[in-house]
Structure 1
Amino acid sequence: MHCKTALSFALASLLFAGTASARGIDVDKVNGSIHIEGDQQAGALSTVNGSIRIDGGGSATKVSTVNGSIELGDRATAESLETVNGGIDLGAGARISGTVNTVNGGVRLGKGAEIAGRASNVNGRYVLDAAHIGGGIETVSGDIEVGADSRVEGGILVEKPHGWSWGKQRNPRIVIGPHAIVEGTLDFRREVELFVSDTATVGEIKGAKATKFSGDQP
């Protein structure tokens, strides 16, 4: 009986160790940056004051910071990315299986990069280079460049700013590049400058009039 119990405990311990190893180690800091080297697996990564970088081929689960940027190298993966003050940069072929959120910062997707969920910010430029966003794009004051051969599902939402503002605000500039596809509604709840390539495919446009262009840029 004792041998059977000991064997069961040993097997359970091995199973737990294997799961922990596959998931990687969580890193939780207050001050300081976090760096995951290439091909390493990590768990949840969190800091308050510092940037987070995952080198090419590395992986993590939830990645979050308050004051700092988040950068994933080529083919790196994570479940979700979130920052308040900082940009988010995805290398070629990087993949996020969930959402990407920043308040004050741009979002850049390298060639072949993918965000399966929604991407949202308040201020900061979006740039997609033959990349894919599966859950739509949301912003208030950010420019959006859906580059050539990129695909966005779930539409684009540009919200109206709330609160007081001083002086005349600059209108966001939205560019849908050659052979790009935006499925779903392009919903503009404030004035924007909208440029759509004559080879792009877009859904219903609300709140703006598209200016067509030919070539690489308007």
Structure 2
Amino acid sequence: MKVTKAQAQANRAHVVATASTLFREHGYDGVGVADLMAAAGFTHGGFYKHFRSKVDLMAESAACGIAQTVALTAGADTSAFLQHYLSREHRDNRAAGCTMAALGGDAVRQPEAVRATFAVGIESLLAALRPEGVAPEDAVAVQARAKSLDIMAHAVGAIIMSRACPDDSPLADEFLAACRDKIFASLTRPVSPPASALKPSRKRRTD
């Protein structure tokens, strides 16, 4: 039976979603194309009907996973989102968790296409966190972006360091607690424009 265009698109999306889950769980080098296609319910040969290479799938699945995080972040209460992000539940569930935390270390060793996808995804997350009605070049937006970068680095780093420890290690929970407290304390500090933006400009006299 000939596969319709709509069914082919659905099959491709299913492979991407399956890859996104398996890569987060096992890493890019921990899953081969044959095993990935089998997990998605397709034959190995069907892979090249949809993708030119495994790298293409890695990039597309990373975009898929990061988009899920962006969707959870946009419009959500920041404290509630971070409470879940820095939880033991998220730490222990790599397959369904944040792509940046699960695969950020792997991405360093991958082709530029994969790393570029991470950069684009991070920018989309920063855009989702930007205060509504504030232009990207606005002084407050610049400060808000720096604060978001700081929070993102702390949160992602906390998950990575916690996962690097044995599951039953007290240090695994200590990383989460310490970074959670630090991030929540920073949320109470209002974002303000840099001092240079508050100073009136001085005009040079011409006479």
Question: Could you say which TM-score interval applies, normalised by the shorter chain?
Answer: under 0.3
Larger helix share, 1 or 2:
2
Q: More relative contact order in 1 or in 2 (CA 8 Å, sep 6+)? A: 2
- TM-score of the aligned structures, taking structure 2 as reference length: 0.26
- TM-score of the aligned structures, taking structure 1 as reference length: 0.25
Larger strand share, 1 or 2:
1
